[in-house]
Structure 1
Amino acid sequence: MRGPVSAIGLTLAATLLLSGCSGAAAAGSATGPAEELRLGYFDNLTHAPALIGLEQGFFAEALGDTTLNAQAFGAGPAAIEALSAGAIDAAYVGPNPAVNTFVQSAGRSAVIVAGATIGGAALVVRSGIDSPADLAGTTLASPQLGNTQDVALRSWLKGEGYETSITGGGDVTVAPTDSAQALTLFKSGQIDGAWLPEPWVTRLILEADAHVLVEEADLWPNGEFPTTVLLVGADFNRHHPETVRALLQGHTAAVDWLNEHKAEAAAVINRKLAADTGKPLANAVIDRALGALRFSNDPLAGTFPVSLRSALAAGTAKNGDLDGLFDLTQLNGILAAAGGAPISAAGLGME
């Protein structure tokens, strides 16, 4: 590696993460449909149900008189901080940030109400790294400390015999870095690889000559792992069930659309990305990246204890009870009305 990686930002992030959330702000004593729904999401392909729901108007149509305000975030922990502070009411996030806020709040902060995306993450590395044995002394990036890919990377490295630290250093340095910046750093040789979600895996491969060292799908039974779920503040879920149901109607419509309009999906997603960021993805990037993803209402609840154990091993989470993490009752009601099969909470909540 060329050039040191500062641990100051890592230390601050670790302090914020491990100090615990202050608790979700109360959604107010009023019940019934909310006047406003504030929704967090990322401008990532792994958040395609959110992008489609916004671009195609599925959320707005389902919410009716409830005003929708959507806000883009860069990674799960940042969205969780906003949810915990009462700045947003719901968010599309990865499994590990969802688990962290639930555990740290003793189950009072938020509940997962649906799945969104399965798959689409990998460890990509530079030329010359062809096996885990080649990683000693390298620096690898992840999107943010404690996010789903960060935990996957640290857990996998531990299984390969490498020690890491949430403040930097160790046998392999893990440097939480914004995904766009990770691409820049990789191109300049300042990092040796990164565990990222799509489309960043594909971008490093096509734009920076990276190659895949680990497909995360290879680490899970049947190759299936949740990348994105829909999380709702617990107070909001309790006080405004009609609004949560409307949000889920928009969400399920977006998931259905993605699965029924695969030929059109890339263009519509790119239109939303261009509107948000000013930069659509290259056709080769979005086509390859979408092929690694599957969109589903199933959050794969049975994988969440595994995610918690991985986060504990990585040092990015506290232990706790996951009972009550899921509330799939509204989702299953919508699916039943459409003749669909119910989705299991794997004993970790209501269904």
Structure 2
Amino acid sequence: MTKQSPARAPYAHRIAAAVAALPLVLGLAACGGSSAADSDSDAGASTGPAAELRLGYFANVTHAPALVGVAGGHFEDALGETKLTTQVFNAGPAAIEALNAGAIDATFIGPNPAINAYVKSNGESVRIVSGSTSGGAQLVVREGIDSPEDLKGTAIATPQLGGTQDVALRAWLSEQGLANDLQGGGDVAVTPTENAQTLTLFQNGEIDGAWVPEPWASRLVLDAGAHVLVDEADLWDDGEFLTTHLIVATEYLEQHPETVEALIRGELAAIDAIEADTEQAKVLVNGEIEKESGKPLSDAVLDRAFENISFTVDPLAGTLDQLLADGVTAGTTQEADLNGIYDLSILNSVLADEGRDPVSAAGLGKE
């Protein structure tokens, strides 16, 4: 008989709460919330630069272009007189809620919540305007788990139900023949948990592992003794997979393309700064993480996290159909036509201005 993990029972309430919240998360994606653009009288037409840009991102190393863009002043420099305000999220579904409720205008986010927002709004609510980050997500587990079969009876955390790592874990488990469901049942209990709590729960032996982005994978390995069972890079051609891209509320994009262009220029400047001086970028990223968590990362964690990641404005659009398919397998989204989800026209204009190669929407939108 398979030994059952003691983590299952204490966290049944956590899984139930996450499942109860799923209709809200998915439903909000279908609603057109108000935004800063709503105050303009001619909805859907360009009205010039916005007075304010409200930007979301996560305090993760996978969001380094956002963190460096803020801390290094690249966004503010590019935005000029447009006021920048920021909001930090733990995971993508919460950021989508905020965007659709009109609390933010744009956000750095993982692909699956963006896909779900687009699908649930019938292609109305969001557009992907740029890439940001490739790589930097792993399934890390406790001692004694060395194969997929060893996961039977365990509890594995993800940052949030319906988030990109949550979908990746559920899809991978299904490919391994390991049953799982949104209620936390099956062979493996998938337990949506905030990243900081995941570290504590793993250290206390209350969960058996987690599929998480950087720096949390590195923290679990270096600070809590976990080891890597799956590096998501091994599951994709050339090791390239989308962890983070930049999305904008469609109405805001239509009304303030000049502001979106400035945001993209700021992101590109931030990525250039990371490549030019990675050590200084680590300092900026760590400072922003400390502001949110109250504690900086160790040098070892920061170094390991950066080793697993690359930064690019290319949104790796060719991977999006597979990410949609994974969401369908996971049960967090439905089959849909993603044509129109990208608007890379502003990005490619900026790249052309700087003599750089254009990026592709892989037939899924404007270039």
- TM category (shorter chain) comes to over 0.9
Letter in 1 for 2:34: A
- Residue 78 of structure 2 is aligned to residue 68 of structure 1: no
Q: TM-score scaled by structure 2?
A: 0.94
Moved more, 264-273 or 49-58: 264-273
Deviation, 1:19, is 3.5
| 1:223 paired to 2:227 | no
Code of the residue aligned with 1:17 in structure 2: it is: V
Q: 1-side partners of 2:144 and 2:32: how far apart?
A: 46
Q: CA deviation at 1:263?
A: 2.7
**Aligned 8 A contact 1:14 1:166 in 2:** no
Give the corresponding residue for 2:168.
Answer: 152
- C-alpha separation in 2, matches of 1:119 and 1:60: 27
1:39 maps to 55
Residue 196 of structure 2 is matched in structure 1 by 180
Q: 2:62 touches 2:213 (CA, 8 Å); kept in 1?
A: yes
Give 1:136 shift.
Answer: 0.7
Asked if 2 retains the 8 angstrom alpha-carbon contact of 1:179 and 1:200, the reply is yes
Give how far 1:20 is off.
Answer: 5.1
Deviation of the 1:17 alpha carbon: 3.3
Whole-angstrom distance in 1 between the partners of 2:54 and 2:27: 25
The more displaced of 264-273 and 250-259 is: 264-273
- Equivalence for 1:346: 362
Aligned to 2:138: 122
Taking the aligned partners of 2:18 and 2:294, their CA distance within structure 1 comes to 29
CA deviations 1:201-229 (Å, max 9, x no partner) are 00000111100000100100111001000
Q: What does residue 301 of structure 1 align with?
A: 317
- Please give the alpha-carbon distance, in whole angstroms, between the structure 2 residues aligned to 1:126 and 1:163: 20
Q: Do residues 329 (structure 1) and 351 (structure 2) align?
A: no
Q: Distance in 1 between matches of 2:348 and 2:33?
A: 25
Instruction: State the 1:137 CA deviation.
Output: 0.9
In the alignment, what sits opposite 2:16?
8
Helix, strand or coil: the match of 2:206?
coil
Q: Distance in 2 between matches of 1:161 and 1:270?
A: 39
Q: Any stretches of 5+ residues in structure 2 without a counterpart?
A: 42-46
Question: 1:19 maps to what in 2?
Answer: 27
Deviates more, 1:256-265 or 1:108-117: 256-265
Which amino acid in the other structure matches residue 166 of structure 1?
L
Tell me, yes or no, if structure 1 residue 319 matches structure 2 residue 335: yes
Runs of 5+ unmatched residues, structure 1: none
For 2:23, the aligned partner's letter is T
Mapping 1:188-207, distance limit 5 Å: 188-207=204-223
Classify 1:11/1:162 alpha carbon distance in 2 versus 1 (closer, same or farther; 3 Å).
same
What letter matches 1:195 in structure 2? W
> RMSD value over aligned CA atoms?
1.1
1:284 paired residue number: 300
Q: Is the 8 A contact 1:226 1:300 kept in 2?
A: yes
Counterpart contact for 1:143–1:149, Cα < 8 Å: yes
Q: Which moved more, 1:139-148 or 1:251-260?
A: 251-260
Look up the match of 1:90. 106
CA distance in 1, matches of 2:341, 2:173: 27
Q: Is the 8 A contact 1:24 1:233 kept in 2?
A: no
- Asked if the contact 2:106–2:249 (Cα under 8 Å) also holds between the matched residues in 1, the reply is yes
- Which has the larger displacement, 30-39 or 266-275? 266-275
Higher deviation after alignment, 70-79 or 23-32 = 23-32
Identity across aligned pairs (percent)?
54
Residues of 1 paired with 2:16 and 2:170: CA distance? Answer: 19
Letter in 1 for 2:25: L
Q: Post-superposition shift, 1:276?
A: 3.3
Is 1:257 equivalent to 2:257 in the alignment?
Answer: no
- CA-CA distance at 1:319 after TM superposition: 1.9
Aligned match for 2:282, one of 258, 263, 266:
266
Query: 1:220 & 1:17 partners in 2: Cα distance?
Result: 28
- SS at 2:230's partner residue? strand
**TM-score scaled to structure 1, two decimals?**
0.98
Partner of 1:162: 178
* Equivalent position of 1:239 in the other structure: 255
Between the aligned partners of 1:240 and 1:215, the Cα distance in structure 2 is: 39
